[in-house]
């Protein structure tokens, strides 16, 4: 039996510029606000996820002195070059975003619902919190809703990058069915 030849990247996507144009024109209307996410591994992983999911934009809030380090670039597989991002300087920028979009915190609260049950009217922006402290109260107050990932094991939380992936793909699924 003859084995099939595995395609190279160039064979799968022979025109890189055409692919870049397609990606730019077909981003999902889902963005992320990273509230104080500082670990380079999580930042790089979230940029890589944002590329895979065609996230519209990442807003970096309370990410002091953010810069694309070699570690973030390596972990993101250079997605920092293709995923649009904005460094947010003050809360007023998030308040302006809130007027246009539905802010949804990925945070377990007394009013949060499972990510599978979330409903929204305007295009969502998923708010992701700091690795240790979660979404700040200041941003929670701006969010229309909170959603959580049900935890069935001993631990009560997931790594922020993994949780972001679950939340992003959950919202994308909701957006494609509504």
What is the C-alpha separation between 32 and 103, in angstroms, rounded? 9
Per the domain annotation, does 167 fall within a domain? yes
- Helix H, strand E, coil C: the string for 18-49 is HHHHHHHHCCCCCEEEEECCCCHHHHHHHHHH
Q: What is the pLDDT of residue 89?
A: 92
Q: What is the pLDDT of residue 123?
A: 94
Q: Buried b vs exposed e over 44-64: b needs ≥16 C-beta within 10 Å?
A: bbbbbbbbebbbbbbbbbbbe
Give pTM, 2 decimals.
Answer: 0.89
pLDDT in tens, 9-31: 667 666 778 888 888 888 999 99
Q: What is the pLDDT of residue 66?
A: 84
Q: What is the pLDDT of residue 119?
A: 93
**Both tokens of residue 26?**
């077909």
Residue numbers in the chain where pLDDT is lower than 70: 1-3, 9-10, 12-14, 178
Angle between helices 40-52 and 160-177 (to 10 degrees): 20
Per the domain annotation, does 16 fall within a domain? no
Q: What is the pLDDT of residue 172?
A: 96
Per the domain annotation, does 20 fall within a domain? no
**Both tokens of residue 108?**
């377990």
Per the domain annotation, does 35 fall within a domain? yes
Q: Print the domain residue range for 49.
A: 26-177
Q: What is the pLDDT of residue 3?
A: 66
Helix H or strand E segment including 103: strand 102-106
Which CATH number fits the domain that encloses residue 97? 3.40.1280.10
- Beta-strand ranges (E) seen in 109-178 are 113-114, 124-128, 145-148
| Number of compact structural domains in the chain | 1
What is the C-alpha separation between 139 and 144, in angstroms, rounded? 10
Per the domain annotation, does 8 fall within a domain? no
């Amino acid at each position: 039996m003859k084995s099939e030849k595995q395609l190279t990247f160039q064979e799968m996507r022979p025109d890189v510029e055409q692919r870049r144009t397609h990606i730019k024109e077909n981003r999902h209307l889902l963005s992320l606000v990273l509230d104080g996410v500082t670990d380079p591994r999580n930042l790089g992983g979230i940029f890589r996820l944002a590329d895979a999911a065609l996230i519209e934009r990442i807003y970096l809030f309370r990410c002091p002195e953010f810069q694309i380090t070699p570690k973030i670039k390596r972990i993101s597989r250079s997605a920092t070059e293709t995923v649009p991002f904005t460094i947010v300087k003050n809360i007023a920028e998030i308040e302006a975003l809130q007027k246009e979009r539905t802010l949804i915190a990925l945070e377990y609260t007394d009013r949060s619902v499972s990510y599978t049950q979330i409903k929204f009217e305007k295009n969502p922006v998923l708010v992701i919190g700091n690795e240790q402290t979660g979404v700040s109260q200041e941003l929670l107050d701006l969010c229309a809703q909170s959603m959580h990932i049900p935890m069935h094991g001993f631990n009560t939380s997931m790594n922020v990058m993994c949780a972001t992936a679950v939340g992003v793909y959950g919202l994308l699924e909701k957006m494609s069915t509504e």
